[in-house]
Chains A and B, each alone.
Chain A
Amino acid sequence: MKPVRVLLADDEEELVAALVERLELRGITVDGVCTCEAALALLQDKRYDVAVLDVKLPRMSGVELKKKMVRTAPHMKFIFITGHGSYNCFQEGSAEAGQPYYLLKPVDIDLLVAKISELTAENPSSDVRKDETS
């Protein structure tokens, strides 16, 4: 199975660290960053299948970041995560990523893995036990 590569961007460092580790335990290769600038820099050197972006990032919104990323990597798929539950935010995020790919924090890890899987048409396990101990 082709490994799925994910770029995760959220300004909460401890959230990024924990999510990266949890996704990697589920067989997904993840790079985590806390700024838009770092995300764009990584994109110059590496290829990713999916970006998981916080809608509200410092200096540049996740939606703006997505538009810049698409210019470099038009093949990429996107999932937005947000703590904001407002209708405007929902409209903005779901218009860019598609309604099913706009997730509210706290994110259900199994749902996130399922969405990554849908977008890549691959099937990484959402069960940590299968990947690590088989």
Chain B
Amino acid sequence: MTDTMNRAAIDGLRFFGRMSAAISHDLKNTLSIMNESAGLLEDLALLTEKGRPLDPQRVHQLGATIKRQIQRNDGMVRNMNRFAHSVDDPLKEVGLAAHLEMLLAICRRLTDARGIAVSVAPCHAEVSIVTRPFFLLHLVWLLLEWGMEHAGSGKQLVLEIEPFPPSFVRMLCRGLETLSADASLSQWNDLLSLLEARMEITVDRQAVAVVMPLRIDG
């Protein structure tokens, strides 16, 4: 387990860095919009000083833009904080859908760059699991990265959570149009081992499923 953990930790650091860079890019964009909106307000004020009439509606619009970006920024920082804390505890109870939504929000820029729409399917009931939160996020990201190569012309991946009684849950990554039954999944063995999970290919559903326990006892 030690070697497995060490390899996963080193790969995990790379994943952590990549997600952090994606967040920093998003933050830079919101800052840029606020910068240009504030700059435009200054421009309009200067022009008003020179006698050009100021349309109050423009000021309202720019104020609303800045407020929107602050809210957007706040959401990003909250996700960044949750992501950062995912390494705090070796084992922790997480709401699975919320955990996945947080990851998708963080990596949205990376999936958009590939032209792939990724979403979490609505669940009938929230499923909570005791797991290794950071390693689960890493596994899902690797699955998405691989899935984007297999999304085909649909260019849409959906993460779906299904109960798998009595003591497991199944997370499907659907939309893998070019998936073949003999696709190799061994590259994720370390993470699967740490999560006490297994992967299954279901070609008829164009999906890869991760079956994981509702509780890892550690």
Contact = CB atoms under 8 A, between A and B. Distances in A.
A105 B32 CA distance: 6
Given A18-B39, A21-B40, A129 B32 contact: no
Nearest to A59: B115
A30 to B, nearest CB: 13
A56 B25 contact: yes
A83 B47 contact: no
Given A14-B37, A18-B37, A84 B31 contact: no
A59 B114 contact: yes
Contacts of B71: none
Interface in B175-216: none
What's the dominant secondary structure at chain B's contact region? helix
B36 interface: yes
B29 interface: yes
Interface in A1-46: 11-12, 14-15, 18-19, 21-22, 25
A107 interface: yes
> B25, B31, B114 — which one has the most chain A CB atoms within 10 A of its CB?
B25
Interface residues of B, number: 31
B109 interface: yes
A109 interface: yes
Contacts, number: 82
B112 interface: yes
A83 B32 CA distance: 9
Nearest to A132: B47
28 contacts: A14-B37, A14-B68, A15-B32, A18-B36, A18-B39, A21-B40, A22-B39, A22-B43, A25-B47, A56-B113, A58-B112, A59-B115, A83-B24, A83-B27, A83-B29, A83-B32, A84-B24, A85-B24, A105-B32, A105-B35, A106-B32, A106-B36, A109-B36, A128-B47, A129-B46, A132-B50, A133-B47, A133-B51
Interface of B: 21, 24-29, 31-37, 39-40, 43, 46-47, 50-52, 62, 65, 68-69, 109, 112-115
Interface of A: 11-12, 14-15, 18-19, 21-22, 25, 56-59, 61, 83-86, 104-107, 109, 128-129, 132-133
